[in-house]
Amino acid sequence: MSHIDPQVHRVLDGEIPADELNAAQREQLAALTRAAHALSALPRASVAARVMAEVRRPPQGAGVRLAHWLTERHAVTISFRPVWSLALAAALAAVAVIPGHGPGPVIGDQEGIAQFVGRFPGAKSVDVVGSFTDWRSGAVMLRDDDHDGIWRGTVVLPVGQHEYMFVVDGERWVTDPLAGRYVDDGFGRQNALLFVRSIAR
Amino acid sequence: MNSPRVLPTDRELSDPEVVARILSGDVEAFGIVIRRYESGLLRYATRMLGHPDAAADAVAEGLVRAYRHLASCRDPARLKSWLYRIVGNRCRSHLARRSASDISLEDAPPLPDPSDTEAAAERAEQLALVQRALETISPEKREAFVLKHVEGLSYEEMAEATGERIPTLKMRVHRARAALLEALKEEP
C-alpha cells in the first residue's frame, strides 16, 4: 500500500492549505484529487418514475380499507368557531389511533398517529410545536389545500403523553382550546396535552 | 393591493417540512426528496457497486424503503445522512449477494457513449480507470473514500450514514486514500 505523507492527509481533511506541501506531497495530492474529480461525474439514470409508481401504489383494495375504517378506531374532527378575534383563533384537534394499513409509512410498535386540525382563517402558515419537536418551529407544518381556513396535519409520534401548541404565521402561539387537558408551561400560558396510543394493540 | 400569495417551491422547503408533508399524507411530496437526493445517491451506489443497473436497483429499493419507514427518521434535518445509510445498506446487500454468486465487479465497466465528444470520451475513460482502481479496494474503504471525497459528507454525516465512530472513519479514509493511490499506480 502506498504511504501518504500525513501533511497530505491534513490538506485533504481541510486542516492546512495545500501551499504548505512540497513537490512530492503535491503529486500525491493531485493524484487523489484527480481521482475524486473523475468519480464525481453524475450518472444519467433516474429511478424517480419507478420509485413514485411504487409509493403511489395502494397496498390493498378499497373494500378492505372500508372494512378497516368501519370496524376500527379513527380520527374524529370537531369544529370550533370563535367570534371574538383571530388572535384567539378557533381550533379543532383530534388525536386518535388510526389503522396502519394505508399506503403511508410503516408505524412502529411504540408509535401512534396524531392528527392536528385547527381553524385559522386568513393564516399564511400554521405549524405545531411541542415536546416532540423540542419546541422548535417548522417540523410539523399543517396544510390548508382548499383554502377554507381549516389546517390539517398528521404525524407519527412515540406512544405516550406530549405537550403542544399551534404557531400561526410563525409568531403567534395559540393553545388548542379543545384539547381537553392542559399543563402550565411555566410562563403564564397553558400547553395542550395529547396522548398517543400504540396502533399495535 | 395585496401581494399575491407565493407558494413555496421545492428549494424553499426544508427537509423537515418535506418530511412533515409526506407524513401528513402528501405522497407526491416524496418527489421532492427524490429530486433533491437521487443524483448523489445514484452516484454513490454506482461507485460502490460498479454497475449502473445494480446501482439503480439499490437506490430504488432504498428510496421505497425510506418512504415506507419515513416515520422512523428521528431527525428529519438529517434526512440526507439517513438516506445514504439506507442506500448504503442496500449496496452491502447487493455486494453480499454478488459475492455469494461469485460475479465479478468488472462485468460491466462504464462505457463512453458513441455520441460523446472527444473530451467527454476522455473523461469517461478516466472515470473507467479510476472506477476499476476503486473496485480493487475493500468495500469499507471504498465507501469511506466515496462518502468523503465524492459525496462531500463531513465526518459527522459519515458517522450518521455508516453507524461508525468518527475516529474509525478518519482512519478508514486515510487507509482508503493510500489503497486507492496504490491501485491507481497499477492501472495501465
How do the domains of chain B map onto residue ranges?
A: 11-108, 116-188
CB-side neighbour CA atoms (13 Å) of B128: 15
- How far, CA to CA in Å, does B122 sit from each of A34, A42, A96, A116? 13, 15, 60, 56
- Span A173-184, pLDDT tens digits: 888 887 878 887
Q: For the domain that residue A82 is a member of, what is the CATH number?
A: 2.60.40.10
Q: Which CATH number fits domain B11-108: 3.30.70.1020, 3.40.47.10, 1.10.1740.10, 3.30.470.10?
A: 1.10.1740.10
Residue from A47, A128, A146, A198 to probe the interface with B (highest B Cβ count within 10 Å): A47
- Whether residue A189 lies within 8 A of chain B, CB to CB, comes out as no
Nearest Cα to Cα of residue B57 among B21, B93, B23: B93
Mapping DSSP onto H, E and C, the string for B97-123 reads: HHHHHCCCHHHCCCCCCCCCCHHHHHH
Nearest Cα to Cα of residue B38 among B62, B70, B17: B62
Contact A182, A189 (CB under 8 A): no
Contact A113, A159 (CB under 8 A): no
Per-residue pLDDT of chain A (201 residues; tens, 9 = 90+): 678 889 999 999 888 988 889 999 999 999 999 999 999 988 888 999 999 998 888 765 556 556 655 655 545 444 445 554 455 455 544 444 444 444 556 677 788 888 888 888 888 889 898 888 877 777 888 888 888 888 888 888 888 888 888 888 887 888 888 787 888 776 667 888 888 887 665
The domain tally of chain A equals 2
Secondary element (H or E) of residue A196: strand A190-196
CB contact under 8 A, A156 and B43: no
Question: What is residue A163's predicted lDDT score, i.e. its pLDDT?
Answer: 87
CB contact under 8 A, A43 and B150: no
Q: Are residues A88 and A122 in the same domain?
A: yes
Scanning A52-81 for CB atoms below 8 A from B yields 52, 54-56
Neighbours of A90 (CB within 10 A): 19
Report yes or no on A50 lying in a domain: no
**CB-based burial label for B16 (10 Å; 0-12, 13-18, 19+):** buried
CATH architecture of the domain formed by B116-188: Orthogonal Bundle (1.10)
Residue from A7, A55, A110 to probe the interface with B (highest B Cβ count within 10 Å): A55
Domain around A88: 64-196
Q: Are residues A68 and A35 in the same domain?
A: no
Q: Are residues A72 and A118 in the same domain?
A: yes
Listed in sequence order, the DSSP H helices in A72-180 are none
Per-residue pLDDT of chain B (188 residues; tens, 9 = 90+): 443 344 455 557 899 999 999 999 999 999 999 999 999 999 999 999 998 999 999 999 999 999 999 988 888 999 999 999 999 999 988 888 766 554 444 444 455 555 567 778 888 888 999 999 999 999 999 999 999 999 999 999 999 999 899 999 999 999 999 999 999 988 76
Q: Are residues A124 and A184 in the same domain?
A: yes
Scanning B81-120 for CB atoms below 8 A from A yields none
- Span A125-166, pLDDT tens digits: 898 988 888 777 778 888 888 888 888 888 888 888 888 888
Q: Are residues A34 and A72 in the same domain?
A: no
Nearest CA-CA distance, residue A157 and chain B, Å:
8
Nearest CA in chain A to B62: A51
CA angle B79, B88, B120 (to 5 degrees): 95
Q: How many cross-chain Cβ pairs, A to B, lie less than 8 Å apart? A: 147
